[in-house]
Amino acid sequence: MTPATIIEPRWIIPAEPSGIILSDHAVVIREERIVAVQPLTEAWASHPDAARVALPTHALIPGLVNLHTHAAMSLMRGLADDLPLMDWLQNHIWPAEARVVSDEFVYDGTLLACAEMLRGGITCFNDMYFFPEAAARAALRAGMRAAIGIIALEFRSAYASDAEDYLSKGMALRDRLRGEPLLSFCLAPHAPFTVSDATFSRIATYAGELDLPVHIHLHETATEVAESLTSHGSRPLARLERLGLLGPGLIAVHAVHLEAAEILSLARHGSSVAHCPSSNLKLGSGIAPVAALLAAGVNIGLGTDGAASNNRVDLFAEMRLAALLAKGASGSAPVLPAARALEAATLGGARALGLQDRIGSITPGKLADLVAVNLDAPELSPCYDPLSHLVYAAGREHVSDVWVHGERRVTSGRVTGLDIEALQQRAESWRQRIGNA
């Protein structure tokens, strides 16, 4: 039998049950799984031959789940800042993508994003971009968990000619890689304004037959909603409901401009929201009604969006901003407390992806996706409540160690197995190509 490893932090914050903080406890892992969460003395007695990882000033939390990103767009970080969404997309991002996006671009950009995410405690990301096979290869190279989006839209790109081609290629990729333990898949229609009714109907069929989540930008801007009323005679969410896409597998990304009845509809169908507060603010899209979503019982996860619209792939920043915005927008300080913000960044994202039985909390039997955060720093002293510190005071710079699927991917703040200098050189090469295109 493979020897166990005992991880010995000062605090364990398992995320499930919510708000629990364990002291003088250890997490025991063997191979890819958590086998026990128990008092230190019991762990030592039960596993006398185990390797021990002492983390005397750290909090151990579940790996963070980035519920929405376009990882390869790390290579477009800061390319076209301070613009509204449609101007940003139509006049800057889409033309740049048409010039340079390729298998090579997506692999390099995703690998760069993986390094950033791992250093910041993100162990799983839900991706939506062109050339998803390249994104999958990059995630596997980095040893990260990824939900790969089977993207679909109506216009031609370097990756596919039309919606049927996007879906055909994506489904073939899923068939080839579905046995990879670090990978899962989502159907990823881009948005209501880039996908037709016929394509949505086909996606609804696939989702029902294959039990795949549906990951889509939805109600991101007031303009999107107004144009849907003009083009389709209904708001986007009502259109998706008519086409059979509302259900427990729907991940509504952004969900900023929602009416009360739409919030209740999401709750009734068991759908999830990927809340991306930094991107929403930077693009001037608005503030999602998080307090109302929580009150209705809608599952919320957190996403960074891509580095082109954030410009950080940083879930610690999203946790803090999500909690503060929810309080400020609702006028209620108890809305989205620290424990609930951490849950959104971990178990909420796992639930949305249908992975809650495998990741999202420090629970025996689940996969060992774990993050150690060192709370021994002047800016984190004194520490009355480590859970509060994780959301309101600590940042990704305090992440010291990360395990994914039982493998240590970050040790003392350094990503293992990736040549960071080479990644930065590749990023500079792409900057020159994009800038000169």
Give the tens place of pLDDT for each residue, 179-212: 999 999 999 999 999 999 999 999 999 999 999 9
State mean pLDDT over 97-110: 96
Residues with Cβ < 8 Å from 72, sequence gap 6 or more? 101, 105, 106, 107, 108, 109, 110, 113, 129, 130, 131, 134, 135, 306
CB 380, CB 398: distance < 8 Å: yes
85 pLDDT band (50/70/90 cuts)? confident
Tell which residue, 356, 251, 265, 359, has the closest CA to residue 302.
251
Long-range contacts of 164-169 (CB under 8 A, 24+ apart): 167/199, 167/202, 167/203, 167/206
Give the tens place of pLDDT for each residue, 315-365: 999 999 999 999 999 999 999 999 999 999 999 999 999 999 999 999 999
Give the tens place of pLDDT for each residue, 119-152: 999 999 999 999 999 999 999 999 999 999 999 9
pLDDT higher than threshold 70 for residue 76: yes
Domain 5-63+360-405, CATH: 2.30.40.10
Q: What is the mean pLDDT of the chain?
A: 97
Instruction: Give the C-alpha separation, 50 to 43, whole Å.
Output: 9
pLDDT higher than threshold 70 for residue 437: no
Q: Provide the 3-class DSSP secondary structure of residue 263.
A: helix
Give the tens place of pLDDT for each residue, 14-46: 999 999 999 999 999 999 999 999 999 999 999
270 pLDDT band (50/70/90 cuts)? very high
Domain-wise residue ranges, the chain: 5-63+360-405, 64-352
**What does the pLDDT read at residue 114?**
98
State mean pLDDT over 103-116: 98
2 pLDDT band (50/70/90 cuts)? confident
DSSP strand pairing (399-404 vs 407-411):
antiparallel
**What does the pLDDT read at residue 436?**
61
Residues with Cβ < 8 Å from 303, sequence gap 6 or more? 66, 67, 68, 69, 126, 253, 274, 275, 276, 279, 318, 349
Q: Other C-beta atoms within 10 Å of 238: how many?
A: 17
Tell which residue, 3, 112, 22, has the closest CA to residue 363.
22
CB 412, CB 119: distance < 8 Å: no
Residue 2 vs residue 391, higher pLDDT: 391
**What does the pLDDT read at residue 94?**
87
**What does the pLDDT read at residue 89?**
85
**Token match 């603010």: residue?**
281
Q: Other C-beta atoms within 10 Å of 208: how many?
A: 13
Give the tens place of pLDDT for each residue, 226-261: 999 999 999 999 999 999 999 999 999 999 999 999
**Token match 């620290």: residue?**
338
Homologous superfamily assigned to 64-352: Metal-dependent hydrolases (3.20.20.140)
Q: Find the distance separating the first CA and the last CA of the chain, reported in whole Å.
A: 55
